Amino acid sequence: MPADTVSVTGWGRTAPTAARLVRPRSYEEAAAAVRECGARGGIARGLGRAYGDAAQNAGGAVLDMTGLDRIHAIDADGGTVLCDAGVSLHRLMEVLLPLGWFVPVTPGTRYVTVGGAIGADIHGKNHHGSGSFARHVLSFELLTADGEIRTVGRGTPLFDATSGGMGLTGVILTATVRLQPVETSLMSVDTERAADLDALMARLTATDHRYRYSVAWIDLLARGTSMGRSVLTRGDHAPLDSLPPRARRHPLAFRPSQFPAAPAFVPEGLLGRSTVGLFNELWYRKAPRARAGELQKISTFFHPLDGVPHWNRIYGRGGFVQYQFVVGHGQEEVLRQIVERISQRRCPSFLAVLKRFGEGDPGWLSFPMPGWTLALDIPAGLPGLAAFLDELDEEVAGAGGRVYLAKDSRLRPELLGDMYPRLAEFRALRAELDPRGVFTSDLSRRLNLSDLSRRLNLQELS
């Protein structure tokens, strides 16, 4: 099977590493690629939207699974789909929406594969009511290190280790997913401004249960009495009878908006405090004080940045760090302190969102837990950023919270056990299932996610 040695990076475009990129076109080729990974092992990769180093493998193999992208069966009555792991959520929407079905969970981009959605146990604006992606997966087929293809069902240790396991238990080949019924491809959206963080949190706490989807954009440069001022956006799938007559002719049409791609070269420092501050001011001011029932396209509500191809280039060649953490209910003061610290430090982030999580799912390394999650993008070249985020990590871990591995690129390994209490079980299953460390990545080596990684790192230090 042909393979190219290429430079691989995450969506944040930081810390590229060289790997052999293998593109299997069948399950047999995928199994052969796993057998031929070599001493540095291999890791599956989808569409490359993990922000950090989860789908990189320096000196080893990276399996591009996007060639396995068949939709095998759709149960249009029962609301399930059986598809290859390389199928994107975008493709599922194209096929399923005309049939009156929608994906059960979508993150801020639809250019994520089903395998990646399970491996990262992705979440969306509906986590407070619907949980993360793996909650809606009935079963999947997993190619393990011994070359066996296993059918893995819900409620088993292997299912829970793989959901959120960042591809380290094997290569997901197919999955059966339960879908969300919809009458239209439009959203009914309520938008309102919140003057500060306390007002925002109070509204989310009191009214989130009324909405299927809920998210707030936060101005992290605002300080003083305006600290945490926000634009709160919530909604649900629009029913057919809410559409104007013209829109009822094609109620399930899926036509995402598309704009010109971001330029290949963007000057460094374009997204500094001044430019981001101006953007944040304009974005907050242009939002309505309160507006109810606006009809929006699915792409506008869920995936506005997908309309700009290669939008990650706007941070320049240095790339950016996406930092996302969650702290539990009862730890609101910790969240306030972190927002205040970010605000005082003047971190230029225009993509900052706050959501409430509902009940967590059983994935051993799954990120969501009941509480509050804040995600923000920060230019990687910001002076002192690494030390500042290390301090935030300590606060998050001390509050019983965690950071999201699918977006991480710099967490220190000694904090991982505090953030993910089932880490030891994950390592034990990995040691039994993959004793030679066939499945490995830059993330797993950096965070010592397996006993083998820990032993090799200790040998290197001795």
Task: Map the chain to HEC letters.
Answer: CCEEEEEECCCCCCCCEEEEEECCCCHHHHHHHHHCCCCCCEEEECCCCCCCCCCCCCCCEEEEHHHCCCEEEEECCCCEEEEECCCEHHHHHHHHHHHCEECCCCCCCCCCEHHHHHHCCCCCCCHHHHCCHHHHEEEEEEECCCCCEEEEECCCHHHHHHCCCCCCCCEEEEEEEECEECCCCEEEEEEEEECCHHHHHHHHHHHHHHCCEEEEEECCCCCHHHCCCEEEEEEEECCHHHCCCCHHHCCCCCCCCCCCCCCCCCCCCCCCHHHHHHHHHHHHHHCCCEEEEEEEEHHHHHCHHHHCCCHHHHHCCCCEEEEEEEEECCCHHHHHHHHHHHHHHCCCCCCEEEEEECCCCCCCCCCCCCEEEEEEEEECCCCCHHHHHHHHHHHHHHCCCEECCCCCCCCCHHHHHHHCCCHHHHHHHHHHHCCCCCECCHHHHHHCCCHHHHHHHHHHHC
pTM attached to this predicted model: 0.95
The contacts of residue 249 (CB under 8 Å, 6+ apart) are none
d(CA 154, CA 145): 21
Short-list 302, 313, 440, 260, CA closest to 12:
313
pLDDT in tens, the chain (462 residues): 677 899 999 999 999 999 999 999 999 999 999 999 999 999 999 999 999 999 999 999 999 999 999 999 999 999 999 999 999 999 999 999 999 999 999 999 999 999 999 999 999 999 999 999 999 999 999 999 999 999 999 999 999 999 999 999 999 999 999 999 999 999 999 999 999 999 999 999 999 999 999 999 999 999 999 999 999 999 999 999 999 999 899 999 999 988 888 888 777 767 788 888 898 899 999 999 999 999 999 999 999 999 999 999 999 889 999 999 999 999 999 999 999 999 999 999 989 999 999 999 999 999 999 999 999 999 999 999 999 999 999 999 999 999 999 999 999 999 999 999 999 999 999 999 999 999 999 999 999 997 554 444 434 433
Instruction: Assess contact for 386 and 373: CB atoms under 8 A.
Output: no
Q: Residue 151's beta-bridge partner residues?
A: 141
